[in-house]
A and B are shown apart, each in its own frame.
Chain A
Amino acid sequence: MARYLLLRLGDAIPTLFLVLTLVFIAMRILPGDPALAALGDAALPEQLAEFRERMGLNVPLWQQYFNFLGGVLTLDFGRSLLSNTPVLTLIAQNLPYTIELTLAAMAMGIVAGIPMGVLAATNRNKLPDAGVRLFSLIGYAIPDFFLGALLLITFALNLGWFPINGAGTDFASRMHHIFLPALTLAFVKAAFLGRLTRTSLLEVLGKDYVRTARAKGAREKRVIYNHGLRNAMLPITTGLGLSLLSTLSGSVAVELVFNRPGIGRLLIDAIAQRDYAVIQGGVLVFAVFVVLINLLMDLVYVVVDPRVRVS
């Protein structure tokens, strides 16, 4: 098991290296001048030149690249070109909000999605099934930012039940602030997980061992949960991993619509302003999460399905 884990971690290093290199190249290819973005379009040539020198933007690209990689190895991601704040500080300030939002959305999505899938599968072609399928269709079709705005207008502006923006300070206000953004992200998760659970469960419920369990007189609830759902968990686990990744990426739009702090909002601003160091640091955080989630999924496979362990 430890060897398996080490091998997987070893695979992650070239992936992260590749991501960092691609981001570095992509940002330099993208038109736009960080000095101009920082100092404004009325800045004079000498001000721009001095800014580039101060921020190390005037050295050759290969040197900037090695400076950047050297910094990453020592966990020094540089400073924001715009605010001069260390990138690590910016990430540390924003990451908890994104993690909090992602986990809340996942929790909501799981709590709503899996029981919905079970309900649909156990009532195949009946009204609850049709309802869940319709919900899934809407969930897939509706974009995050649109749903977010809709919820914001209805529940925050018109009904006044929730705050319009921010993330809150104490525990109670943080819970209050996170509800609508998490619900926005959870809507799609629930649709996806509901549909996935339905399909997986239906497939399992048609298997011989389920028929055998029923023939042996096992209670229907036991058949569905112990024999059915437990065996349907492998594809659902994959779905959970994918959901987690899409929730993380979806947080970008939601943080913007709900004006919540977070890595997504930090990145959007940094990209618009060509704040290279922040973009590189922010993307690295996302990449590390993707790698870790994939690793987690691999480990869960091993636990859920012993056949993976053998192979």
Chain B
Amino acid sequence: MALNRRSFLELAAATTALTAIGVQASHAQDADTLRIGIAANGPRHSDPNLTTQGSDNWATEQMYEQLVRPDDGRFALTPEEYLPTLATEWTQSEDAKSWTFKLREGVQFHRNYGEMTSEDVVFSFERAIKEGTNRTILSNIESVVATGPYEIAITLKQPDVNLLGTSIFNNNTSIVSKKAYEEIGGEAFATDAVGTGPYELVQFDPEFGTRLKRHEGYWGDKAKIANVECVYIADTTARTLALLAGDVDIIEAVRAPGWIDSILQRDPTLKIDMTTPGSFNTLHINLTRKPFDNLLVRQALMHAIDRPAVAAALAPMGGVMAGLQPDFFPAGFKTEDLPAELQYPYDPEKSKALLAEAGFPNGISFDSLCSQREDYSSTMLIVQELIRPAGFNMNLIIGDHTAYHADNRSDKNTLAMHSSSYPPIPTQIYFQQLASASEVKSDGSGGGNYSHYGVAMPGIDDLLNQALTASDYETYLDLCKQIELQVLRDLPLIGLSTLGFTAVRSAKVDLGYEVESGYARWRFHRATKTV
């Protein structure tokens, strides 16, 4: 087609007109819709039983509920702090192996799928145990049976004084409608699940994200904002600009040094919501690599890492770890409460002396692999600089994040950083990162104990087994504290810092509560928005 001057002008005029229409549509501010920009390329599942990427949980958090929950914006630090949610009361046997839960009556599922009963709860638990993405944490459950229309009984294989935290408040054990599952079918349910939460799913769109609307039949206080939209924006610049331009109301932050400062410079009215502790950034020392099999070398490394400085460099998201648990977690220690010899203050001179005593007066050089993801690379670059004056010449090989984890899992690393989020259930990190059962294997079939603790040298297996089978909470905590001290004596794993999960919010949005701790997602049912 020949494009003459007339048709070109017509086309230009049409484009300009359409653009003008679009400007109004795009920048319309809607007080009844809350939009969050999520750091991923697209949603994968909306079924709480199948989510694997953390970002999907921003939507599932709004749509589903468990039998109990902690208060908004925080972890429940002890079993007493869990709030009745879909269960109104519960009891445990003396040996902590039998638990009964009375269910809330009158709870309605989304989209008129009827009232929640014990049949739905049993169905949800059985599905999580058989098909869920996190079956390991449920492996201690022997049976879940309905003992009445509004009562269920859970029997465990071994006692678990922390059942509410380990298994009941868990994304995978969110309660979904059995009737809806049977009607919709397993495959479609993966992106179209039906729950009881304050918001219900309207649209699961792989290109856009998820659209939710208020659940009008919600049993509790109804959500204040009518709609929630989870928009996926992986690129950090695009996500930042989307917030600054008002396209979204909240974004997941970039967890790198200086990012918060830079976005606040651009718009000082923005609000920062941050969990403490967030991720536990730990450093595994491979005990099978010389000279790290030598305790003196590990002590030297510990004295060479200025851990408060690592946390400060990640400010305001970073937090100091005295051991492996944050100090406000039940099994955590404050640095000053530790025995003097386990405090490991930053002391490069002492570090040098320890290295010399270990037979390395000129220091040591070694390679370490590192992920290019901003939280990993920035933390390890800080560590690299901190330990250099003490004589540790660490050659960091920074590469692709997926490859990095595969290399760690194949026992290819020397000092392997790991970033993971844990609730105040201390045994989870001990089991995943320190138990001999989780020892890393060179063929990739092992677990996340990259230091070979418990195999290359005696570990904490006995204490851990005792803690896992304790039938009273105080004994459990005491055993966990003993584990903390033993790890600090043996140093197979160093707690580098914590790194809060952070979201940046427009000043127009009030969450209705303070975010203090908890997982990397929070609910919007109490939020309000002004235009």
> Which A residues have a C-beta under 8 Å from some C-beta of B?
30-33, 36-42, 44-47, 49, 82-85, 90, 93-94, 97, 111, 149, 152-153, 156-157, 160-168, 171-173, 175-177, 179, 256-259, 261, 265-266, 268-269, 272-274
* Chain B 34-61 interface mask (CB, 8 Å, partner A; 1/0): 0000001110110000001110000000
Q: Which residues of A contact B18 (CB under 8 A)?
A: 171-172, 175-176
Task: Return 26 A-B CB contacts under 8 Å, by A number.
Answer: A32-B400, A33-B402, A39-B52, A40-B52, A41-B409, A83-B45, A90-B206, A93-B206, A152-B237, A160-B23, A160-B245, A161-B19, A162-B23, A163-B247, A165-B231, A165-B242, A168-B22, A171-B18, A176-B21, A176-B25, A179-B15, A179-B19, A259-B242, A261-B42, A261-B206, A272-B401
| Given A36-B402, A111-B8, A269-B234, residue A172 in contact with residue B25 (CB < 8 A) | yes
Q: Is the CB of A256 within 8 A of B53?
A: no
Q: Which of A42, A166, A272 contacts B208 (CB 8 A)?
A: A166
Q: Which residues of B contact A40 (CB under 8 A)?
A: 52-54
| Given A41-B418, A111-B3, A259-B233, residue A49 in contact with residue B445 (CB < 8 A) | yes
> Which B residues have a C-beta under 8 Å from some C-beta of A?
3, 8, 15, 18-19, 21-23, 25-27, 40-42, 44-45, 52-54, 133-136, 187, 190, 206-208, 231-235, 237-239, 241-242, 244-245, 247, 399-403, 405-409, 418, 420, 432, 438, 444-448
| Given A156-B245, A157-B245, A257-B235, residue A46 in contact with residue B403 (CB < 8 A) | no
Q: Which residues of A contact B25 (CB under 8 A)?
A: 172-173, 176
Q: Is the CB of B21 within 8 A of A172?
A: yes
In the complex, which of the residues A36, A38, A274 has the most CB atoms of chain B within 10 Å of its own CB atom?
A36
| Given A42-B432, A257-B237, residue A32 in contact with residue B19 (CB < 8 A) | no
Q: Is the CB of B245 within 8 A of A256?
A: no
Q: Which residues of B contact A41 (CB under 8 A)?
A: 405, 408-409, 418, 420, 448
Closest residue of B by beta carbon distance from A179: B19
Q: Which of B19, B238, B245, B400 contacts A258 (CB 8 A)?
A: B238
Q: Is the CB of A32 within 8 A of B406?
A: yes
Q: Which residues of B contact A44 (CB under 8 A)?
A: 136, 432, 438, 447
In the complex, which of the residues B3, B41, B44 has the most CB atoms of chain A within 10 Å of its own CB atom?
B41
The CA of A49 and the CA of B22, in the complex, are separated in Å by 50
Taking the closest CB of chain A, its distance from the CB of B369, in whole angstroms, is 10
The CA of A162 and the CA of B21, in the complex, are separated in Å by 11
Q: Is the CB of B26 within 8 A of A42?
A: no
Q: Is the CB of B231 within 8 A of A83?
A: no
Q: Which of B21, B44, B207 contacts A93 (CB 8 A)?
A: B207
The CA of A30 and the CA of B447, in the complex, are separated in Å by 21
Q: Is the CB of A261 within 8 A of B207?
A: yes
Q: Is the CB of A166 within 8 A of B22?
A: no
| Given A94-B207, A97-B207, A164-B242, residue A30 in contact with residue B52 (CB < 8 A) | no
Q: Is the CB of B409 within 8 A of A47?
A: no
The CA of A93 and the CA of B245, in the complex, are separated in Å by 27
| Given A32-B402, A84-B190, residue A47 in contact with residue B136 (CB < 8 A) | yes
Q: Which residues of B contact A176 (CB under 8 A)?
A: 18-19, 21-23, 25-26
Q: Which of A31, A171, A269 contacts B403 (CB 8 A)?
A: A31
The CA of A49 and the CA of B443, in the complex, are separated in Å by 12
Q: Is the CB of A46 within 8 A of B15?
A: no
Taking the closest CB of chain B, its distance from the CB of A174, in whole angstroms, is 9
The CA of A266 and the CA of B42, in the complex, are separated in Å by 9
Q: Which residues of B contact A177 (CB under 8 A)?
A: 22
Taking the closest CB of chain A, its distance from the CB of B408, in whole angstroms, is 8
Q: Pick the 3 closest A-B CB pairs, nearest first.
A: A176-B22, A261-B207, A269-B41
Q: Is the CB of A164 within 8 A of B247?
A: yes
Q: Is the CB of A30 within 8 A of B135?
A: no
Q: Is the CB of B400 within 8 A of A164?
A: no
Closest residue of A by beta carbon distance from B135: A47
Taking the closest CB of chain B, its distance from the CB of A25, in whole angstroms, is 17
Q: Which residues of B contact A39 (CB under 8 A)?
A: 52, 133
Taking the closest CB of chain B, its distance from the CB of A96, in whole angstroms, is 10
Closest residue of B by beta carbon distance from A270: B41
The CA of A31 and the CA of B405, in the complex, are separated in Å by 10
Q: Which residues of B contact A149 (CB under 8 A)?
A: 237
Q: Which residues of B contact A268 (CB under 8 A)?
A: 41
Q: Is the CB of B190 within 8 A of A259?
A: no
The CA of A205 and the CA of B216, in the complex, are separated in Å by 74
Closest residue of A by beta carbon distance from B26: A163
The CA of A111 and the CA of B447, in the complex, are separated in Å by 58
Q: Which residues of B contact A85 (CB under 8 A)?
A: 206
The CA of A224 and the CA of B82, in the complex, are separated in Å by 81
Taking the closest CB of chain B, its distance from the CB of A197, in whole angstroms, is 15
Q: Is the CB of A82 within 8 A of B53?
A: yes
Q: Is the CB of A164 within 8 A of B190?
A: no
Q: Which residues of A contact B407 (CB under 8 A)?
A: 31
Q: Which residues of B contact A37 (CB under 8 A)?
A: 402, 405
Q: Which residues of A contact B418 (CB under 8 A)?
A: 41
Taking the closest CB of chain A, its distance from the CB of B269, in whole angstroms, is 16
Q: Which of B52, B234, B432 contacts A82 (CB 8 A)?
A: B52
Q: Which of B136, B238, B420 contacts A259 (CB 8 A)?
A: B238
The CA of A14 and the CA of B15, in the complex, are separated in Å by 43
The CA of A45 and the CA of B411, in the complex, are separated in Å by 14
Q: Which residues of A contact B21 (CB under 8 A)?
A: 172, 176
The CA of A272 and the CA of B447, in the complex, are separated in Å by 22
The CA of A111 and the CA of B7, in the complex, are separated in Å by 12
Q: Which of B187, B238, B401 contacts A257 (CB 8 A)?
A: B238
In the complex, which of the residues B21, B187, B238, B408 has the most CB atoms of chain A within 10 Å of its own CB atom?
B238
Closest residue of A by beta carbon distance from B429: A42
Closest residue of A by beta carbon distance from B238: A259
Q: Which residues of B contact A258 (CB under 8 A)?
A: 238
Q: Is the CB of B406 within 8 A of A36?
A: yes
The CA of A123 and the CA of B441, in the complex, are separated in Å by 71
Closest residue of A by beta carbon distance from B45: A83
Taking the closest CB of chain B, its distance from the CB of A100, in whole angstroms, is 12
Closest residue of A by beta carbon distance from B235: A256
Taking the closest CB of chain A, its distance from the CB of B279, in whole angstroms, is 11
The CA of A198 and the CA of B21, in the complex, are separated in Å by 37
Closest residue of B by beta carbon distance from A33: B406
Taking the closest CB of chain B, its distance from the CB of A161, in whole angstroms, is 6
Q: Is the CB of A274 within 8 A of B402?
A: yes
Q: Which residues of A contact B244 (CB under 8 A)?
A: 157
The CA of A172 and the CA of B54, in the complex, are separated in Å by 34
